Structure 1
């Protein structure tokens, strides 16, 4: 009994010395900044050209990523906005081979469009993205997709997609997980991009 009492007192005294767990956890801004610090390591497919850059991590089989793709159609090429789609392979076994099919295509953008525009209608019958999986994943393609995945992992974020990361007009890093719930939310987010 004395040992238990001693251990409880020891733990209570440590509570005054050690910072609480939440005090050492990174903020959303810190996570976003970490991702932006490493974004140059990612391989992306760009839509539009502009100084206002929005990075979007997506899995070819992700239904929420597909929703975000559809929601962003009216914004492509407008307001000096560039959308950088960064493929990751985290949801299903065919995610890697579909991401590879996109990155190994002669036109990555057209392959990306094929995946999204034919979502759930691919001839192979596998759920998700509409592109046929690559039969062979070339080593440099696997390395690129692994690097994309690593940007998420390094920030401590993994299965949270779609994940949107950008700098706001105040220069702070921001991230948003999941597809915005309304047109207003999407419009407000895009309006805040630096």
Structure 2
């Protein structure tokens, strides 16, 4: 893997990011697609793409990607396909064919994970978010969500992880192991700019393995940033937003702002 050019292609933002030429015969896919499989790509599905191309979606080391077979069948382009209005067609295909089904299947795992309730038990909207206590974007996301939580419309379920800093795990375990985790989470949020919750070694000992289980779940789902947030849209489809949501994404997740 370390000698493969493929990881560099993920950094491409345009359709012209790379070309691969076929060198082997394929049984189930054209030779150019087979060349990607030999580099570790798991092909998940195919679809009709613009310009006479055939689109494919796949995964590599838990990361989703889209690639496109040219009409001559001899080359495959790996990268992001944009339309004339700048819409990301690759992201839409990945969401529909890979991430949507994967996260829908994972929803029961989120329900059974070690999370902290943040908001009313009667809230109509349940949102799971992977939260690292040292993550500034998690802190800002919670601030953004406050109007919906205060209005009783949204319940955030923080799946606490410890991945960013040396004391992330111990802070997460202190919150998760507290007698009242929701109150501990709020205390941490209130004191975040001063360093957050004070680590309690007894609580860490009790909840360390729960935090590590959350870390594993995040890794298994291929999520690499906090916050990573999963919710159900109006049609019941499981959607994922990685990083700090923009205002439009917030309303898609939580509904109109109270």
Q: TM-score range by the shorter chain?
A: 0.7 to 0.9
Alignment correspondent of 1:6: none
* Cα distance in 1 between the residues matched to 2:152 and 2:192: 27
Pairing 1:131-170 to 2, within 5 Å after superposition: 131-136=197-202, 137-139=204-206, 141-157=207-223, 159-170=224-235
* Cα distance in 1 between the residues matched to 2:137 and 2:175: 18
Q: How many angstroms does 1:156 deviate by?
A: 1.8
* Cα distance in 2 between the residues matched to 1:48 and 1:91: 29
Q: 1:185 to 1:91 in 2, by over 3 A?
A: same
Partner-residue secondary structure (3-state), 1:92: coil
Partner-residue secondary structure (3-state), 2:253: helix
Alignment correspondent of 2:132: 59
RMSD of equivalent CA atoms:
2.4
Structure 2 residue runs without a partner (length 5+): 1-20, 42-55, 65-97
- CA deviations on 1:76-106 (whole Å, 9 max, x unpaired) are 1536422111110110110011011101222
Partner-residue secondary structure (3-state), 2:194: coil
Runs of 4+ with deviation above 4 angstroms: none
Structure 1 residue runs without a partner (length 5+): 1-8, 123-129
* Cα distance in 1 between the residues matched to 2:141 and 2:22: 51
Q: How many angstroms does 1:23 deviate by?
A: 3.0
- CA deviations on 1:41-77 (whole Å, 9 max, x unpaired) are 3111112222421011100000000000111111115
Indicate whether 1:106 and 2:179 are aligned.
Answer: yes
Indicate whether 1:191 and 2:191 are aligned.
Answer: no
TM-score by length of 1: 0.79
TM-score by length of 2: 0.61
Higher strand share: 2
Which of 141, 158, 165 is equivalent to 1:85? Answer: 158
Contact kept, 8 Å, 1:58 with 1:85, in 2: the verdict is yes
Higher RCO structure (Cα 8 Å, ≥6 apart): 1
